[in-house]
């Protein structure tokens, strides 16, 4: 489970002064469900997810991930999380297998468990044909699968996806979407950020709409449709964020 409580993250910029990238954000994600964080670019999605993955430290507020406090025990949190984004690249001079094994070892797996996990993942994701190929020689789709195997090698109960389909072609994006669904079916807590409405409609059990660092609306797709008397998610999104950013919404 993920429980974000009043999370805030402030940055100081020489030109713009104090930036409230995340401003008192609270939400809960349940195991076996997918929580979609929907927002435009710069809304605060990545910063929120990075705080949950303990890559960034909150300025204030707190979060509990898989029973561990992100501030008190960041290493325990990371051991319980699989984090995937388009920014998390692969080491070019390692082979696909070495890449997955490396992260398995960093997650504290012993050698026998690691071997079993790696063999199972490579078989499930149909990666055996290129397990000894260097990552810089892999296609985008192959790289995506290696990244998935890397996030799953320690079998984490919580999965965090930060715009995982950004820049991918249709086929690669579809495999990511089906992988996210599979994670939910296996009972994992899944949080997923995107600005693609169709992905949210297809995948998410709960949706949080974030804009300018603030969580403006939250609920299931059905809840949001009923609350705003509108079936089109894009329209709902625009109505929620428009009063705050008319120029952005109209564009």
Give the binding range for another protein (CB under 8 A) out of 85-93, 185-193, 210-218, 242-250.
Answer: 85-93
Minimal distance in Å, beta carbon 75 to another protein? Answer: 5
With binding defined as CB under 8 A, does residue 103 bind another protein? yes
Beta pairing partners, 83: 160
CB 151 within 8 A of CB 173: no
Q: What minimum distance in Å lies between the beta carbon of 161 and another protein?
A: 12
197 neighbors 240 (Cβ within 8 angstroms): no
> Within a 10 A sphere around the Cβ of 250, how many other Cβ atoms?
8
Should residue 57 be labelled a site residue for another protein when binding is judged by CB under 8 A? Answer: yes
217 interacts with another protein by CB under 8 A: no
Are residues 46 and 162 in contact, defined by beta-carbon separation less than 8 angstroms?
yes
Q: How far is CA 156 from the centre of its chain?
A: 13
Q: How far is CA 178 from the centre of its chain?
A: 14
Binding status of residue 181 toward another protein by CB under 8 A: no
Q: Which of 67, 92, 187, 246 binds another protein (CB under 8 A)?
A: 92
Please give the Cα distance from 177 to 17 (Å, whole number): 38
Q: Is 228 a residue that touches another protein (CB under 8 A)?
A: no
Q: Closest distance between another protein and the C-beta of residue 128, in Å? A: 21
User: Tokens at residue 163, please?
Assistant: 């715009």
Please report, as ranges, the residues that interact with another protein according to CB under 8 A. Answer: 11, 53, 55-57, 75-76, 78-79, 81, 83, 85, 87-94, 98, 102-103, 105-108, 150
């Amino acid at each position: 489970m993920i429980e974000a409580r009043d999370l805030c993250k402030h940055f100081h910029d020489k030109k713009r002064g104090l930036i409230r990238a995340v401003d008192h954000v609270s939400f809960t994600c349940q195991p076996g469900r997918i929580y979609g964080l929907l927002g435009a670019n710069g809304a605060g999605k990545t910063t929120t997810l990075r705080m949950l993955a303990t890559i960034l430290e909150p300025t204030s507020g707190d979060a509990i991930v898989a029973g561990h406090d992100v501030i008190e025990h960041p290493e325990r949190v990371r051991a319980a999380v699989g984090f995937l984004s388009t920014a998390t690249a692969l080491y070019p001079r390692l082979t696909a297998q070495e890449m997955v094994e490396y992260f398995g070892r960093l997650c504290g797996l012993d050698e026998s468990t690691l071997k079993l996990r790696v063999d199972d993942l490579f078989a499930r994701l149909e990666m055996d044909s290129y397990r000894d190929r260097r990552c810089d020689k892999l296609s985008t789709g192959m790289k995506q699968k290696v990244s998935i195997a890397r996030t799953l090698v320690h079998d984490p109960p919580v999965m965090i996806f930060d715009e995982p389909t950004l820049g991918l072609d249709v086929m690669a994006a579809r495999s990511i979407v089906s992988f996210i669904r599979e994670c939910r079916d296996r009972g994992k807590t899944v949080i997923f950020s995107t600005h693609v409405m169709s992905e949210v409609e297809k995948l998410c059990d709960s949706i949080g709409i974030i804009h300018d660092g603030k969580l403006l609306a939250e609920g299931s797709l059905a809840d949001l449709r009923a609350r705003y008397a509108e079936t089109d998610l894009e329209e709902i999104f625009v109505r929620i964020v428009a009063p705050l950013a008319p120029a952005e919404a109209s564009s």
